[in-house]
Amino acid sequence: MCGSNNNSCSFISTLELILMLQQKGEDCNVPNGCSKPFLGPDATGICLNTRPITFYSCCNNNLWTMPYTLNGINNSSSVFRIENLDDNCATFRVLAPNPNTSEVGTFPYIATNDFFTINLNCVGVLKCLGDTYVSGL
């Protein structure tokens, strides 16, 4: 049920793990692997620093999007980076698509200075995207 504390338990533990991995720093002395439970270098040796996520509302399964401003242009994104976790609330940074099209394959997102905090009871689905490097963090 939307708003129930029972729905967010697995989200909290998943977000705690992601936050811990991102805060660990640039430890690129780790081997690559299909299901590695850590951030580290990708196949090209780039040290990854973000596990981007998207999520859907628990009440209507709509993909959440949030506004951001980048280089004076307003837009919205559905890709986020967890920055803080406090009990049942989480603060996220909005990630924008990389405007440099020649880098999109390697660096699909860039950091914005736009943040929001949500009550995790409002999240119905949490989807992790592939680990990546985000500049400007």
Q: How many domains does the chain have?
A: 1
Query: How do residues 47-83 score in pLDDT, each as one tens digit?
Result: 889 999 998 888 788 899 999 999 899 999 999 999 9
CB-CB contact of 51 with 45 (8 Å): no
Residue 135, domain member (yes or no): no
Residue 10, domain member (yes or no): yes
Residue 77, domain member (yes or no): yes
CB-CB contact of 8 with 38 (8 Å): no
- Tell me the pTM: 0.83
CA 40, distance to chain mean position in Å, is 16
Residue keyed to tokens 């973000």: 50
**Containing structural domain, residue 99:** 5-28+36-128
Residue 65, domain member (yes or no): yes
Residue 133, domain member (yes or no): no
Integer Cα distance of 108 and 121 in angstroms: 29
Residue 120, domain member (yes or no): yes
Query: How do residues 74-117 score in pLDDT, each as one tens digit?
Result: 999 999 999 999 988 999 999 999 998 888 788 899 999 999 99
Phi, psi of 18 (to 5 degrees): -60, -45
Residue 137, domain member (yes or no): no
Residue 111, domain member (yes or no): yes
Residues 6+ apart with CB under 8 A from 127: 53, 54, 55, 56
Phi, psi of 16 (to 5 degrees): -60, -45
The string of DSSP letters for 68-83 reads EEETTEEEEESEEEEE
